Amino acid sequence: MNPTASPTIFEPARQVPVVRETDVLVCGGGPAGIAAAFTAARAGAKVLLLERHPFLGGVWTAGALTILIDTEHKDGLNCEIRRRLEERGAAVYCKQWPNWPVYGLEAMKTLLDEMIIETGIEVQLYTSVAAVAREGRRVTGVYTESKSGREFIKAKVVIDTTGDGDVAAQAGCAFEYGRPKDGKVQPMTLYGRIGGYTGETVHIQPLLDIARRAGVEPSYGDVTLFPQPGQPGVFMLMATHLYGSGIDVRNLTRAEIQGRAEIRQLVELYRQHAGPAWKDVYLMDTGPFLGIRESRRIRGHHYLTVEELQSNKKFDDGICHVRFMADIHHPDPKEGTGLTHVFFPFYDIPFGCLVARDVDNLMMAGRCISGDHIAFASYRVTGDAVATGEAVGVAAAMCVEQSVDPNALNRPQLLQRLARMRSTEIAAPEPPPTTAPEPAPRKKTTVARKSLSLTP
C-alpha cells in the first residue's frame, strides 16, 4: 500500500435511469461543440448537446473571450456567426486586431440561443458528464450529473468537445498533458468588464507603464483594453495569467480568487492613476469562468507534430485550414509574463487527429484533438475549434447514415460533403419564437514578446 495515497471509499452500485437515446451526442457546448451539433443536425442526424453552464458558447461566453480568432479566411459556420453578429451591430474591429471581430457577450448568447431553435437540436444545460459506459472498443453512452440526479444517455456516436478531453479520458483514451520537458501548461486568463471608460482601445505598453509606476506588475505582460460593441463606456480588460492545472479543481478555485483580486486591484489603480478617461471607471463584473488554454490532448489516429508543420507536410484528409502561428503563453512565470510565437507555413489539420485511437465511435474537436504541445498552440484558437467541430459533425451524420465508425468513413466523400456544407450560405431566418420547444419526454427503462524557430 502506498502510504502517500489518498484514502478511498466504496461507492455503492445503483440503478440509473436511461433518459435519452440519440444518434449523435455532443459533450461540451463551446465553439467546437456548437459547430459539431449544428452541423450534424443540418446534415440530418438526431443530436443532443450537453453543456455544464447555463448558456452555450464556452470560452466565447463563459470565458468572456469576446474575440473571434482565425475566422477571417473560413467559410461555413465561422462565416455565418461573424456575419450575423455584424448584421445586428454586435461586432467591431480594433486596430490591434484588424481581422478579428470583437463581439458583445450577450449578443453571442442570444445568437446561439436562436440557432438552437433554428436547427432543432436538443440541448441540455446545467449538465456534466460524470462517467462513460464502454463495451469493448465502443462507447455506448455517458452518465450525467445535474439537478435531475444521475442519468444515462445512450448514443451511436459520441463527440468530445469539452476542451479538456474529459469524456475521452473517462473512456480510457490515451492522452498527453503539457509540454514534454516538465508537463507544465499555458496559463489561464480571467477577464474583467469595466464601465464608465471614455477613452479608446489601449494595448500593452501604456497600461503596463501606468501599473508599474504605481508599483504593480500585472501577471500578464500583454495587458489590453478593448470595447464591447453597442455599449458606450463598456470595455473588456485582459490582464491576468493564472498558472497551474485547468483540470485540478483546487487549483481552479485558487486561480479564480486570485484572478478576481488582480482585476479589482488593476481597475482601482487605473481609476486613480490613468488620467481623465478613467476617472469614472468601475468594475462591472469578471468573467463567469476562467479561460483555459491548455490541458489534455487526446491521442488520435494521427498525431500532428510541429516537425510536420515546419516541413509543410500535406495531408489528403485535411479538414481545417489553419493560418495562425503557435501562440505559446509562457507556462512558467519565471520565463516571462508574455508569450512566444513559433511560425510555420499555413497548414491543414488531418481528419485522423479528430478520431480517437482507442475508442471506435468517439471523436474529438477543439483544443483536445491529437497533436503535440507546439502544434496545439496554433490550432487551439476558436476559429479552428469551429472548423474541427464542423468536420466531426458531418462525419457523425455520415456514420449514422452508413452504420460505420468514423475511421471507416470514405475520406474523399467526407471532404466533399464538408466542402458543400461550408459553401452553403445560411440566411438569417425570421425572428425565432420567444420560447424554446418542449423537451422530449423522459424515457425510463502568457512582457516581452519573442519569436523563435525550431529549425537550426
Beta-strand ranges (E) seen in 161-301 are: 175-177, 191-195, 202-203, 224-227, 235-238, 282-286, 296-298
Q: How far apart (Å, rounded) are the C-alpha atoms in residues 9 and 431?
A: 53
Q: Is 332 helix (H, G, I), strand (E, B) or coil?
A: coil
pLDDT at 449: 34
Mean pLDDT split into 10-residue runs, the chain, 456 residues: 76 95 98 98 97 97 96 95 96 91 96 96 97 97 98 98 98 97 97 96 93 95 94 96 97 98 97 96 96 98 97 96 96 93 96 98 98 97 98 98 98 97 68 41 37 32
**Cα 315 to Cα 347: distance, rounded to the nearest angstrom:** 9
- The model carries a pTM of 0.92
Backbone angles phi, psi at 191, to 5 degrees: -90, 155
> Residue-wise over 52-73: b if at least 16 C-beta within 10 A, else e?
bbebbbbbbbbbbbbbbbbbee
Q: Which three cell numbers stand for residue 387?
A: 472548423
